[in-house]
Amino acid sequence: MVGYYRYDTPAELATLNEICALDAVFTNYLLPQRKLIFKQRIGSKVIKKHDTATALHQRAVVHLAKRPEPTITMNATFQKVQPAALSRQILDLTRQLEVLSQAKKAPRSNPPLNTDPLAKEAK
């Protein structure tokens, strides 16, 4: 999501933290995932059974049905989530992070070896 640049400045760290927080909301509330229920090996064949794909938020709400406080806060957060706006925010922050990392002074490159034209003729 954020590329392979070196992020070592405080501004880059702050941007990375924002991206991680927004991505956690996106993943937990909007991306459905299938959970493995059963796995059996018969010789070289592996049989797997999965349940239906649901978002992690929905799984947590079902799991915490007896405790109303976490369920209420998760449902309130879910009502505030705007998928398109969240996606745009993540893309904008990744662009900012790329600009920040490319704006740093590039490392000094080493001069090429064997630049002497006479060295090529001597061979």
Which pLDDT tens digit goes with each residue over 45-82? 999 999 999 998 998 888 887 788 888 898 999 999 99
57 CB neighbour count, 10 Å cutoff? 20
Question: What mean pLDDT, rounded, does the chain reach?
Answer: 88
C-alpha pair distances (Å), 40 with each of 34, 51, 67, 74, 97: 17, 15, 34, 35, 45
**Of 91 and 115, which is predicted with more confidence?**
91
pLDDT digits (tens, 9 = 90+) for 89-111: 999 999 999 999 888 866 667 76
| pTM confidence score | 0.71
Q: Is residue 40 part of a domain?
A: yes
Q: Is residue 3 part of a domain?
A: no
| Mean pLDDT in residue range 32-44 | 95
Q: Is the confidence at residue 112, as pLDDT, over 70?
A: no
Q: Is residue 2 part of a domain?
A: no
Write out the residue range of the structural domain in which residue 19 sits.
10-100
Q: Is residue 1 part of a domain?
A: no
What is the maximum span of the chain, computed from C-alpha positions, in angstroms? 85
Q: Is residue 92 part of a domain?
A: yes
Q: Is residue 119 part of a domain?
A: no
Q: Is residue 115 part of a domain?
A: no
Q: Is residue 118 part of a domain?
A: no
Domain count within the chain:
1
